[in-house]
Chain A
């Protein structure tokens, strides 16, 4: 029963990724695409942690930490490029 609820929750979070991805494709400006990428990254970190427990590989939690770090640096770099150029 609990496993079924966990799987349903993962599918709902995956639907959130799909909705953000549509905005990533059709977004009119660069800032729209960066916002959509930020949202996709946060949802992906949650799904990576879910996969780590689902497949009993705890090493995937380190992947989630590093993914969040690199995403933060990337978003700040895009923002600095938008503001005054590199």
Chain B
């Protein structure tokens, strides 16, 4: 049982490493935000579940569950807010991107107001 939890923790830590590598290597703010949120959310959930499986005799699974629920709820919210703020602050997309839906919606709204 302890080995099983340790292997799940190892898989989660590999996801955390890939999240850090994506934050370093991606070409754009928005790509960095995407890899830094998705990979670290999944990796930290696996990491915490693995640790709580390996030490199940401690009897504090409730706090681990609270931390996991907190990460699930707040991580997408903060990432979404930051991406929206970066877009409206005028940070350019990378030259390889093909579509910008938020910019098109913005232009349509301004046209309706005028």
Contact = CB atoms under 8 A, between A and B. Distances in A.
Helix, strand, loop or mixed for chain B's interface? helix
Contacts of A6: 6, 9, 51, 54
Contacts of A76: 77-78, 81
Given A16-B19, A69-B70, A83-B88, A42 B51 contact: no
Nearest to B35: A39
Interface in A37-78: 38-39, 42-43, 45-46, 49-50, 53, 58, 61-62, 64-65, 68-69, 72, 75-76, 78
Interface stretch (B61-69, B97-105, B106-114): B61-69
B85 A80 contact: yes
B71 A45 contact: yes
A50 B51 contact: yes
A78 B83 CA distance: 11
Contacts of A22: 24
Helix, strand, loop or mixed for chain A's interface? helix
Interface in A11-37: 12-13, 15-20, 22-23, 29, 31-32, 34-36
B86 A31 contact: yes
A34 B79 CA distance: 10
Given A16-B20, A35-B33, A9 B10 contact: yes
Given A12-B13, A61-B67, 4 more contacts: A34-B82, A45-B44, A75-B78, A84-B88
Interface of B: 2-3, 5-7, 9-10, 12-14, 16-21, 23-24, 29, 32-33, 36-37, 40-41, 43-44, 47-48, 50-51, 54-55, 58, 60, 63-64, 66-67, 70-71, 74-75, 77-79, 81-82, 84-86, 88-89, 91
